């Protein structure tokens, strides 16, 4: 469907589609000036004006925007994909169609927001946004893009309309992105979806043009993002932030008048609201998520299912949940058979479902959370009980946690008392969330610190790094050796919680979360060794070295040093900029010391 609209589509209109120029012309003007008065931020220019083409800035935030409607003959169908050049396979379109509408039994009248996650089709070409992807390295591990998955952020409207055969207007505006910025994209949709349903495609075109003027999503920078006359102020966390802190820089009073929306977080959900029906069992659920156990959330609507799944995944932060999770999962999903088969054990995945059919299909799963309607902020639902799985017959079963799991750790009564006191005193949900999030953070940190300490001991000593030998290898992770360290330096140093910590560690070491965590740490430490090796090379007198070696050995050294430079750049090794410059100077000096015929050849074998 062609999207063409006149200029002057409202306060946020920037440029009609036929004005697009595949180049960098017109990109030098500050994005904020076009937005109508947000304060300039010199840091805004990161990733802009450096040879970027039209839609490159849009693609840093979104893959595409879809409109999904209901056709009486075809059923759910993608009516619009914008920008029009965006690529989606037929399988991806089918998944988006079914995941963008609540199940018919949900009865979602009015406006509903939720989130889904789906697997990218195999064989898809990876987009080459090297300049923009470099920011990924500065993100906390749990916010890094997963190349195999897309997120879908949905604003669904269902209202009575007697002029339509079906009797209802049903449509979803869906943002497809690689970024797991749940709160941010839901806020964007709140700004644009209601007006889109009134003004249709030209309004959507103008909104997308606004996104294409945004600066790149640089971690650690305060970003001002204009969207249809509104300016949002956000800060994406970095891996260097202290866990559990929110770092939105306060604006001056003068600047405040230009900012419409300030987001304290880009990715967090209201964790207390989600855990509210089950907060008596929050520590047990933390264990199940930590261990990568198969877990199903059965909820009355996609909003409840997606928020609860995301809260579960978030509860082990700053650890990343490395298994698959689906905030909203339907019987039409392309992985439905794979995840519901009874021929093998349930996979390590967290599913959020609303269709009653799943109560029968997934009754063999070991851990099921059945929740009712999430109450508005300030209202506390009755606490659910832990029940035997055999009691779960249908989705109409009473809310509860259906499992035979026996937690390794004793329940922390202090946090329960604190949250219950907050309920009695009508403490705001946001404040309760801060308490619960801090509790989960301290629990996760108490668990992970002994592992971090042991893994750090696997690093070779710096004095063992020789510039003329390959970097030394990390020592092997030995589970029993690690277990022995727990007696003196275990979680008892930082946590008041008693229980079978050893048993919890043994189970964790067999889980996908440990596998993913250790692979990440091993990669970081190996890169650190490579960086230290480069620094050791830079400290050597290489000109003196070549005087004692043959031309063949000198040429070999130059080629190896050039490869080191390429590796440092490609893998974003933690090398100081002056180290890289020093190495380039060394290479140039060595080449100039060689005969002219060799100089010409070596200068052509890559940039120095």
pLDDT at 13 over 70: no
Q: Which of 213, 224, 215, 231 is nearest to 45 (CA)?
A: 215
Q: What's the average model confidence in pLDDT over 432-448?
A: 95
Name the token pair of 486.
């727990």
Q: Which of 4-18, 169-183, 291-305 has the lowest mean pLDDT?
A: 4-18
CA distances from 536 to 50, 522, 540, 582 (A): 33, 21, 7, 12
Band of residue 594 on the pLDDT scale cut at 50, 70, 90: confident
Q: What is the mean pLDDT of the chain?
A: 82
**pLDDT higher for 282 or 34?**
282
Q: Which of 151-155, 173-177, 461-465 has the lowest mean pLDDT?
A: 461-465
Report CA Rg, the chain. Answer: 27
Q: What's the average model confidence in pLDDT over 538-546?
A: 83
CA distances from 34 to 31, 227, 257, 373 (A): 5, 11, 16, 43
pLDDT tens profile 72-100: 677 888 999 999 889 999 999 999 999 99
DSSP-derived letter for residue 262 is: E
pLDDT tens profile 50-62: 556 788 889 999 9
Percentage of the chain lying above the pLDDT 90 cut: 45
pLDDT at 22 over 90: no
pLDDT at 258: 63
Distance (Å, rounded) from C-alpha 268 to C-alpha 437?
A: 10
End-to-end CA distance of the chain: give it in Å, rounded.
Answer: 49
Indicate if the alpha-carbon torsion angle 175, 179, 180, 186 is positive or negative. Answer: negative
Q: What's the average model confidence in pLDDT over 440-467?
A: 92
pLDDT at 47: 44
**pLDDT higher for 182 or 576?**
182
Q: Which of 9, 336, 34 is nearest to 205 (CA)?
A: 9
Name the token pair of 527.
């890169």
Number of neighbouring beta carbons within 10 Å of residue 547 = 9
Q: Which of 569, 499, 507, 502 is nearest to 534 (CA)?
A: 569
pLDDT at 380: 56
Q: Which of 521, 38, 14 is nearest to 234 (CA)?
A: 38
- The pTM of the full predicted model, rounded to 2 decimals, is 0.84
pLDDT at 276 over 50: yes
Q: What's the average model confidence in pLDDT over 457-469?
A: 87
Q: Are 42 and 75 in contact (CB under 8 A)?
A: no
């Amino acid at each position: 469907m062609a999207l063409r609209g006149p200029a002057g589509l409202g306060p946020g209109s920037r440029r009609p589609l036929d004005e697009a120029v595949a180049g960098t012309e017109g990109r030098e003007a500050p994005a904020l000036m076009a937005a109508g008065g947000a304060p300039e931020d010199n840091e805004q220019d990161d990733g802009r004006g450096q040879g970027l083409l039209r839609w490159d800035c849009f693609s840093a935030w979104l893959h595409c925007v879809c409109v999904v409607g209901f056709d009486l003959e075809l059923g759910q169908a993608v009516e619009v994909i914008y920008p029009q050049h965006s690529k989606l396979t037929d399988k991806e379109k089918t998944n988006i169609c079914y995941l963008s509408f609540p199940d018919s039994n949900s009865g979602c009248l009015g406006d509903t927001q939720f989130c889904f996650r789906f697997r990218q089709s195999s064989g898809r070409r990876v987009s080459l946004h090297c300049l923009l992807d470099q920011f990924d390295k500065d993100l906390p591990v749990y916010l890094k893009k997963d190349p195999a998955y897309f997120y879908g952020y949905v604003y669904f409207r269902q209202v009575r309309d007697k002029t339509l055969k079906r009797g209802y207007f049903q449509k979803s505006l869906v943002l497809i992105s690689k970024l797991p910025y749940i709160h941010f994209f839901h806020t964007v949709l709140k700004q644009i979806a209601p007006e889109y349903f009134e003004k249709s495609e030209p309004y959507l075109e103008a909104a997308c043009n606004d996104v294409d003027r945004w600066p790149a999503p640089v971690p650690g920078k305060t970003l001002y993002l204009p969207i249809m006359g509104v300016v949002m102020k956000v800060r994406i966390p970095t891996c260097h932030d202290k866990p559990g802190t929110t770092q939105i820089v306060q604006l001056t009073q003068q600047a405040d008048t230009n900012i419409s929306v300030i987001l304290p977080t880009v990715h967090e959900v209201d964790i207390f609201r989600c855990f509210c029906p089950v907060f008596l069992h929050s520590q047990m659920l933390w264990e199940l998520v930590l261990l990568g156990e198969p877990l199903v959330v059965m909820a009355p609507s996609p909003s409840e299912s997606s928020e609860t799944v995301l809260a579960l995944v978030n509860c082990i932060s700053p650890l990343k949940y490395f298994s698959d999770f689906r905030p909203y999962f339907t019987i039409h999903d392309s992985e439905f058979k794979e995840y519901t088969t009874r021929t093998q054990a349930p996979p390590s995945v967290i599913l959020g479902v609303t269709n009653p059919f799943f109560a029968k299909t997934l009754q063999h799963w070991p851990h099921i959370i059945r929740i009712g309607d999430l109450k508005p902020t300030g209202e506390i639902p009755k606490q659910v009980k832990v029940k035997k799985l055999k009691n779960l017959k249908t989705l109409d079963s009473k809310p509860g946690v259906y499992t035979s799991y026996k937690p390794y750790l004793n329940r922390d009564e202090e946090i329960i008392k604190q949250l219950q006191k907050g309920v009695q005193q009508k403490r705001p949900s946001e404040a309760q969330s801060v308490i619960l999030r801090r509790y989960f953070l301290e629990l996760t940190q108490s668990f992970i610190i002994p592992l971090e300490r042991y893994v750090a001991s696997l690093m070779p000593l710096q004095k063992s790094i020789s510039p003329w030998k390959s970097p030394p290898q990390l020592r092997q992770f030995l589970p029993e050796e690690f277990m022995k360290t727990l007696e003196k330096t275990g979680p008892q140093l930082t946590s008041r919680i008693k229980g079978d910590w050893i048993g919890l560690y043994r189970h964790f070491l067999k889980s996908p979360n440990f596998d993913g965590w250790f692979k990440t740490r091993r990669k970081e430490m190996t890169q650190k060794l490579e960086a230290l090796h480069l620094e050791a090379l830079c400290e050597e007198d290489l000109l003196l070295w070549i005087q004692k070696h043959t031309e063949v050995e000198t040429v070999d050294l130059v080629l190896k040093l050039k490869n080191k430079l390429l590796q440092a750049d490609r893998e974003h090794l933690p090398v100081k900029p002056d180290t890289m410059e020093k190495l380039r100077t060394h290479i140039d000096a060595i080449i100039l010391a060689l005969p002219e015929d060799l100089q010409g050849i070596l200068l052509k074998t890559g940039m120095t």
